[in-house]
């Protein structure tokens, strides 16, 4: 089907309303038909549809079982859904795909809650499994859930790893991606001593005598990344393939991979995009891949040069219009405005200070402390200038903002962007938004800012309830404000932030609705988080379909099941709109389709 025909059919669909008859879908049979199902179209059309027809990778019909019959002949593959649920493929608006794939293949702690002894035992086993006899060979350990160490409040330091009696340098990376624990050999190789200054946007934790403890934050990690051996092109292809395999099982058909804290621009371009481009050349790209290279805080001195580097990467890698076969775009830029609000980092930029205990452990008295976290990583004039230059270049900014101070700065930057380019179709996104000043909630809608939220964080857990003393009751009531943002009219998009958490989109959706942890969570993590009302089931699904498609500038061709759009869809084993809310987390994807091609089919449930 030509693009002009597809555009005509889409226009016809919009004018005809709820269901598009076969006559409006061009002559000829469908290649594939789904019927007798429950269709969630993620649009205002086809609210009662039961059937979908596909030809040439596009949807040519959405409507009734009876209406689709005219598109079926002997060449058509007909799938009887038997009442199963069909919806657009999931669009994950914020994940670190190559890193996640590499972690699937690495020494992985699995986000588990560990004691110090258990942590040491797991790392010791990884040392043994690696089989390396090189005393200087790095061991990288990933998916460390630092905030869930047991017992609560337990401290780790380089002594934790030095006890393993190895001369090999070890780095244990927190799943949040902003913190790592290293041993003494690693510090020695990095030449970090008591005299080493904290870099801009980073922190080296120190003991009472000023010696580094082995805990490293944000920009201070870069020296370790420069010392570690880089993954080979072959290893990166294996990582990309592993990530794509995991995505297809979850129903992800499009994703944005923004630069992670430990990636510099050159490495990001050479590794992440090149790896997925290589997979695509081999015919293995099973999801639409979007990338956001990083603009660093050091670039504030020369915004034009920083934006020029992003534009150069876009010219090199962006493949143009989104078509049937999954491709690659570079139309976003990542900016870190702060770190994380979680203890013990406290690198999220806040509008009011973190609290400290001015009493004793037995009789605590929590009062405002001296720190509100770091200053926002970009001064306001530099941020406004960079956003304007990105807008003029057709690049959407994607800003990491965890604390309400950085969120406020991001919104101020977007306001300046809108004033400079009032008619430009720029879709700025703010990722995370874990704390938002209530006064800033209506600004998202007013400014067309897209909050990209990781719904799974909005539950009682060690990383949220562990904040209550440091944030205080008022801020805890509005932690992870998805429902408050929705009530203020924000267009919410979903981003898993994988591998910060394991890739479990359906658990995240369940949390988005219920604000509760898993039923088997420890007793201290039962109940709802805060006063936020959460989201409706439909709002959660729209966040991961049409809203995320809008964020990524692909809502004209994906994100909803409408005539003329690309056939990116998934079939589920249950209806997440009607099952008990807790059961949403148990949803299984039976089939994932991208551009009309089945890229995943559950072996245990052939359709």
Residue 19 has pLDDT above 70, yes or no: no
Residue 23 has pLDDT above 50, yes or no: no
Residue 22 has pLDDT above 50, yes or no: no
Residue 274 near residue 289 (C-beta atoms within 8 A)? no
CA 368, 372, 378 angle in degrees (round to 5)? 165
Identify the CA nearest to 598 among candidates 283, 286, 232: 286
pTM: 0.85
Give residue 478's pLDDT band: very low, low, confident or very high (50, 70, 90).
very high
Residue 430 has pLDDT above 50, yes or no: yes
Give residue 521's pLDDT band: very low, low, confident or very high (50, 70, 90).
confident
| Amino acid 4: pLDDT | 33
Residue 257 near residue 398 (C-beta atoms within 8 A)? no
Model pLDDT for residues 275-296, shown as the tens digit of each residue? 999 999 999 999 999 999 999 8
Tokens describing residue 429 = 């996104």
Residue 347 near residue 203 (C-beta atoms within 8 A)? yes
Contacts of 371 (CB under 8 A, 6+ apart): 346, 353, 354
Residue 194 has pLDDT above 80, yes or no: yes
Q: Which domains does the chain have, with CATH numbers?
A: 3-89+560-601 (2.30.40.10), 99-227 (3.10.310.70)
| Amino acid 462: pLDDT | 83
Return the C-alpha torsion angle 43, 47, 52, 58, nearest 10: -10
- What string of H, E and C letters represents the secondary structure of 394-412? CCEEEEEECCHHHHHHHHH
| Amino acid 261: pLDDT | 60
CA distance 191 to 339: 24
């Amino acid at each position: 089907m030509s693009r002009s025909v597809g555009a005509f059919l889409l226009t016809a669909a919009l004018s005809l309303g709820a269901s598009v008859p076969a006559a409006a879908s061009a002559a000829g049979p469908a290649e594939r038909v789904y019927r007798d199902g429950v269709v969630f179209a993620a649009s205002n059309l086809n609210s009662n549809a039961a059937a979908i027809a596909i030809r040439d990778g596009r949807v040519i019909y959405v409507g009734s079982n009876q209406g689709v019959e005219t598109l079926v002949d002997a060449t058509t593959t007909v799938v009887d859904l038997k009442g199963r649920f069909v919806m657009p493929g999931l669009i994950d608006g914020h994940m670190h795909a190559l890193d996640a794939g590499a972690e699937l293949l690495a020494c992985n702690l699995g986000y588990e809650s560990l004691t110090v002894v258990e942590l040491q035992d797991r790392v010791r086993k990884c040392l043994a499994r690696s089989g390396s006899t090189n005393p200087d060979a790095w061991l990288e350990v990933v998916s460390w859930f630092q905030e869930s160490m047991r017992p609560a409040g337990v401290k780790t330091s380089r002594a934790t790893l030095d006890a393993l009696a190895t001369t090999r340098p070890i780095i244990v990376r927190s799943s949040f991606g902003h913190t790592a624990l290293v041993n003494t050999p690693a510090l020695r190789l990095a030449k970090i001593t008591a005299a080493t200054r904290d870099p801009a946007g980073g922190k080296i934790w120190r003991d009472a005598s000023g010696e580094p403890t082995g805990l490293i934050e944000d920009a201070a990690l870069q020296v370790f990344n420069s010392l570690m051996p880089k993954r080979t092109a072959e290893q990166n292809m294996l990582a990309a393939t592993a990530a794509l395999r995991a995505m297809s099982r979850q129903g992800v058909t499009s994703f944005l991979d923004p630069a992670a804290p430990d990636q510099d621009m050159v490495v990001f371009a050479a590794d992440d995009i090149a790896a997925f481009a290589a997979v695509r050349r081999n015919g293995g790209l099973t999801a639409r891949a979007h990338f956001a290279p990083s603009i660093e805080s050091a670039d504030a001195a020369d915004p034009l040069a920083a934006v020029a580097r992003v534009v150069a990467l876009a010219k090199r890698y962006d493949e143009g219009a989104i078509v049937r076969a999954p491709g690659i775009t570079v139309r976003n830029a990542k900016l870190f405005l702060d770190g994380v609000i979680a203890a013990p980092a406290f690198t999220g930029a806040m509008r009011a200070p973190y609290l400290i205990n001015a009493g004793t452990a037995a009789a605590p008295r929590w009062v405002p402390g001296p720190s509100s976290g770091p200053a926002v990583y970009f001064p306001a004039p530099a941020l406004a200038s960079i956003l304007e230059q990105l807008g003029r270049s057709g690049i959407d900014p994607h800003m990491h903002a965890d604390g309400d101070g950085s969120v406020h700065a991001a919104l101020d930057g977007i306001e300046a962007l809108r004033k400079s380019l009032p008619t430009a179709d720029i879709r700025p996104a703010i990722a995370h938004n874990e704390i938002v000043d209530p006064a800033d909630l209506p600004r998202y809608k007013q400014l067309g800012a897209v909050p990209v939220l990781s719904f799974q964080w909005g539950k009682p857990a060690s990383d949220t309830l562990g904040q209550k003393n440091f944030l205080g009751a008022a801020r805890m009531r509005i932690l992870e404000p998805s429902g408050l943002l929705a009530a203020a009219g924000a267009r919410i998009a979903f981003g898993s932030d994988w591998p910060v958490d394991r890739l479990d989109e359906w658990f995240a959706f369940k949390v988005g609705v219920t604000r509760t942890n898993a039923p088997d969570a420890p007793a201290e993590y039962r109940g709802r988080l805060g006063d936020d009302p959460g989201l409706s089931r439909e709002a959660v699904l729209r966040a991961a379909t049409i809203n995320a498609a809008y964020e990524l500038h692909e809502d004209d061709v994906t994100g909803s099941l409408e005539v003329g759009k690309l056939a990116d869809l998934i079939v589920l084993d249950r209806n997440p709109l009607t099952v008990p809310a807790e059961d949403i987390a148990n949803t299984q994807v039976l089939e994932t389709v991208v551009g009309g091609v089945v890229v995943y089919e559950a072996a245990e449930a052939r359709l």
